[in-house]
Structure 1
Amino acid sequence: MTSPPTDTELPRIHGFLSDFHRRQADRVVEFPGGFAALDDRFTHSRGNNHLLVDGSTDPEALPARAEELLGHLSHRLVYVVDDEVAAACRGPLERAGYTRAATYLMWHTGPVPAHGGARRVGIEELRAPASTAWRRFAPGISDEQIQHLVERRIARLGAADDVRFLATHTEDGEVASWVDLYLDPAAGIARIEDLVTAEAHLGRGHAGRVLDTALHLAAEAGCDLRFLSANKAKWPHRWYGRKGFAVADTIHYFERG
């Protein structure tokens, strides 16, 4: 399941990833070697409020920097792109109470599938199914937390040049599975994220159809480099491997709170 990209492809993925976080942020605070992406509208969303280290930085200064920039939040989250930088940051962050985990960046190396039959939908159509899914994924979280996690798609509309939310439906018109597709046709790169299937419709092929649609539309838009992220500790990365994706890189992240 590992197929390393070339020396030109991996920087393209990293560049898109950094731009994605910058573009969806309401405000960006720069620091040596990285930046804070912040959005006070969605303070419960870690994906909208975090540090991203995408260059060389001072590892010993990072815990205090995170406290300074994320101190108004109930969580702390620091992404580190480079393996060597992450290794250097691990000690200072763990001493400050952070735990380390990792996510795979996976790029599509298989053939482009036929259109899977999913169609483009608006944010309003995803609100109810996404809210229900979050209650399944994170039992016990508050209504306000769910609202932030669902409504953050508003910010994601600015995360790329062309942003599409895709979904498959049941015969009765109910949303069954959905995914975000972020396209930069000029750069020839696409990101696929947040693929979810409603619990009542698991095991019926909806996830494969919505993923096939995203890959097909990305290729149709001229995006030869297509990637997604998948938690290293959870099972979906194995399913993505069967769908033609291979591990391109590992992004490290450190969490507290």
Structure 2
Amino acid sequence: MRSELARALAFQQGFARRRSPHAVDVPGGFAVLDDRYPYSYDDNKLIVWDAADPAAVLEAADEVLAERGHRLVNVDSDELGVAFAPAFAAAGYQHAENVVMAFRGDPPAGPPEAEHLDLPALLPVLRRDWRADLPEAGEQTIEQLAARVETRLRGADLVGFRGVRAPDGELAARADLYVHDGVAQIEDVYTTTRHRGRGHARTLMRSLLAEAAGSEPIFLVADAADWPREFYGRLGFAEVGRTHSFLRV
């Protein structure tokens, strides 16, 4: 039986292929491209996990992403990511480590509490949040970053957008849930700035865990250098591996 890490990485790679209108092979992996959303890093990137010459991967990034204003290479191997780091640093890329975490506890009992969000309800919230996070970005960029969410609907058998509201009715926290072939991923967990520290994210996460009960694994990916990984740890998630991202803009 494949490990939790192997199943999680295979899930992510399959999700990327299914949601993308165009995938091409590159050394050690593949690239995804979406001409509708050229400002979206996540929809235009390389995903590499097999042994490859870093110079060949850098060359492929320049070639495949030639019409984009960025270069993003996700490396789904801790060993390979560490090996690639010097060459990518020399080429001007920023390096980030990501922690793959799998849920090891018992899913909460009872029905999920989170609200189901459709695209008409979600898109205005995404525009609001991207404007707050990227105040200098133009409206075209904001619109692409919000609208690209529709591509996720093709990524898994179940793609759910979930949220919880503050007492005043404003959507306070939101996240995605993807389930495919018995594996579940929680992704894009976000709490609006003015609602942080009030338990909304915890309520949302417990609801997502209840909804995903029975999946193996239930996983998420967190920034290795950021505080949310500690929050996820308190909820019952444990690190099962690391991946790497290299970005140049």
TM-score between both structures, scaled by the size of structure 1:
0.91
Partner of 2:114: 118
Partner of 1:241: 233
Once residues 238 and 25 of structure 1 are traced to their aligned partners in structure 2, the CA distance between those partners, rounded to angstroms, is 32
Once residues 178 and 47 of structure 2 are traced to their aligned partners in structure 1, the CA distance between those partners, rounded to angstroms, is 19
Which of 68, 71, 74 pairs up with 1:73?
Answer: 68
Instruction: For residue 42 of structure 1, give the secondary structure of its aligned residue in structure 2.
Output: coil
Once residues 42 and 26 of structure 2 are traced to their aligned partners in structure 1, the CA distance between those partners, rounded to angstroms, is 19
Q: Does 1:165 align with 2:161?
A: yes
Partner of 1:175: 171
Residues 210-244 of structure 1 show CA distances to partners (whole Å, capped at 9, x for unaligned) of 1111111111xx31310011111211111111111
Residues 144-171 of structure 1 show CA distances to partners (whole Å, capped at 9, x for unaligned) of 1111111111001111111011111234
Which of 195, 199, 206 pairs up with 2:200?
Answer: 206
Q: Where do residues 62-211 of structure 1 align in structure 2 (5 Å cutoff)?
A: 62-114=57-109, 115-184=111-180, 187-211=181-205
- Say if 2:48 and 2:76, in contact at 8 Å, map to a contact too: yes
- Say if 2:26 and 2:57, in contact at 8 Å, map to a contact too: no
* Cα RMSD (Å): 1.6
Q: Does 1:215 align with 2:213?
A: no
Partner of 1:3: none
Which letter maps to 1:74?
G
- How far did 1:197 drift? 1.4
Q: Where do residues 13-92 of structure 1 align in structure 2 (5 Å cutoff)?
A: 13-92=8-87
- How far did 1:208 drift? 1.0
TM-score between both structures, scaled by the size of structure 2:
0.94
Once residues 120 and 160 of structure 1 are traced to their aligned partners in structure 2, the CA distance between those partners, rounded to angstroms, is 17
Residues 19-56 of structure 1 show CA distances to partners (whole Å, capped at 9, x for unaligned) of 11111112101123101111111111111111000212
Q: Does 1:252 align with 2:225?
A: no
Which letter maps to 2:22?
R
- How far did 1:82 drift? 1.2
- Say if 1:42 and 1:149, in contact at 8 Å, map to a contact too: yes
Which letter maps to 2:141?
Q
Once residues 95 and 27 of structure 1 are traced to their aligned partners in structure 2, the CA distance between those partners, rounded to angstroms, is 29
- Say if 1:18 and 1:54, in contact at 8 Å, map to a contact too: no
Which of 214, 220, 223 pairs up with 1:231?
Answer: 223
Instruction: For residue 68 of structure 2, give the secondary structure of its aligned residue in structure 1.
Output: coil
- How far did 1:85 drift? 1.8
% of aligned pairs identical? 38
Contiguous gaps of at least 5 residues in structure 1:
1-5
- Say if 1:60 and 1:89, in contact at 8 Å, map to a contact too: no
- Say if 1:176 and 1:201, in contact at 8 Å, map to a contact too: yes
- Say if 2:164 and 2:200, in contact at 8 Å, map to a contact too: yes
